[in-house]
A and B are shown apart, each in its own frame.
Chain A
């Protein structure tokens, strides 16, 4: 029986900072192709965002929260290192305490990891229903150019075996051992990156090509059979690099490329990209999603759009609702002035 997405929604916090603000403060902006990025308000975090976007996704079906039997949360910016994170979200949304909750937190690939964990929960029993919530706001030191691309956003999906918008056709994974790229040592609040460019690109390409090509082989497809391709967006250029090596073109990336206006959404990057691709997709379209997280791993998912039904919460509407802040206000909200 087909399993897939029966509802979805995105949430982008309304605050934005433009690249010009960074250029004024630091003389440069180290995020290729990113024009502006989203910022969470002082009283928001990934859990409040996950709660909001999960409610929206359930409304988009609509499905009462009481029917949900599995909940998967993904973020690299959780407010606690130890404590059930899903608890805050399921109680607020009204998802029963009997739901199987999983927190996925240690990689920007956590979004697809959560999605696959929820898919496997769906496969266990045909009456199961799952919500996948990906919410992130990665943080690094303001002294580090690694911080420049980091934005904030969330997307959630309702997984079901009825009323599907898109069916999940296949998924594939690649895991490997790479050191020194985007890591957070124990006890450190800030991300590190040794910034060895060519080596890091090697890890990115090795893993994304392995998971992406595994899907093409599994389904006996050619890259041009996909209308939309969503690739991890640490900036707005990386997806093109991966796409070119896989035989995809930039045209296939357009609908799902959100980083140019929100920045790096970490574990929510491919999730918000997928929501944007679903907004644009037509019945019969095929969508490929390829995530990446340092260390390093990549998941790929292939979806087939089976309905023209759309979520009421369009990614474009989230992008359009915005209020600009300057760099000083940004530092204050991020708690970077101590």
Chain B
């Protein structure tokens, strides 16, 4: 399991629970998840906080099946079967990886509109790690 300590996870709660990203004050690009130095101009660490809409489109995706799931997601795969993991292009520009929930894996398509929703991601040391997953946005 890719261990993420609780204090480390805690620091990322704003981005995981409510899509808080940052806007570079130098080049104006939106970074998500937040970075130390702007990913786009590599010249600034001066940001303003920005709450993203949570809306986006599937840029590309894979389906994770038995044996392919990382250990922290193995039970999810066993209980629910194959699940989609996508790179989503957010409305504000950044591309981000996330699971797609509430969708038939066969119906996931490139370009499909999605939006974020709070879900249980996995549990470690008895602590539930909540965060965003994508769900179909039904045209919104």
Chain A residues engaging chain B, CB cutoff 8 angstroms: 14, 41-45, 47-48, 51-52, 79-80, 88, 91-94, 332-333, 335
Partner of B120, one of A44, A52, A93, A94: A44
Partner of B18, one of A48, A94, A332: A94
Question: Would you call B17 and A91 a contact (CB within 8 A)?
Answer: yes
Q: How many contacts A-B (CB < 8 Å)?
A: 51
Min Cβ gap B108→A in Å is 15
Q: How far is the CA of A79 from the CA of B130 in the complex (A)?
A: 12
Partner of A43, one of B14, B18, B76: B76
Question: Would you call A332 and B117 a contact (CB within 8 A)?
Answer: no
**Which chain B positions have C-beta within 8 A of A44?**
119-120
Other than the given A47-B118, A48-B120, 11 more pairs (CB < 8 A) read A41-B102, A42-B80, A45-B120, A48-B119, A48-B130, A52-B117, A88-B130, A91-B13, A91-B18, A332-B79, A335-B79
Minimal Cβ-Cβ distance residue in A for B120 = A43
Indicate whether B121 reaches chain A with its CB closer than 8 angstroms.
yes
Min Cβ gap A185→B in Å is 21
Q: How far is the CA of A92 from the CA of B51 in the complex (A)?
A: 12
Minimal Cβ-Cβ distance residue in A for B76 = A42
Min Cβ gap A65→B in Å is 10
**Which chain A positions have C-beta within 8 A of B130?**
47-48, 88, 92
Question: Would you call B121 and A43 a contact (CB within 8 A)?
Answer: yes
Indicate whether B43 reaches chain A with its CB closer than 8 angstroms.
no
Min Cβ gap A301→B in Å is 29
Minimal Cβ-Cβ distance residue in A for B128 = A79
Indicate whether B101 reaches chain A with its CB closer than 8 angstroms.
yes
Question: Would you call B102 and A14 a contact (CB within 8 A)?
Answer: yes
**Which chain B positions have C-beta within 8 A of A14?**
102
Q: How far is the CA of A79 from the CA of B78 in the complex (A)?
A: 21
Indicate whether B133 reaches chain A with its CB closer than 8 angstroms.
yes
**Which chain B positions have C-beta within 8 A of A93?**
18
Which of B14, B121, B128 is packed against the most chain A CB atoms within 10 Å? B128
**Which chain A positions have C-beta within 8 A of B101?**
41, 43
**Which chain B positions have C-beta within 8 A of A80?**
128
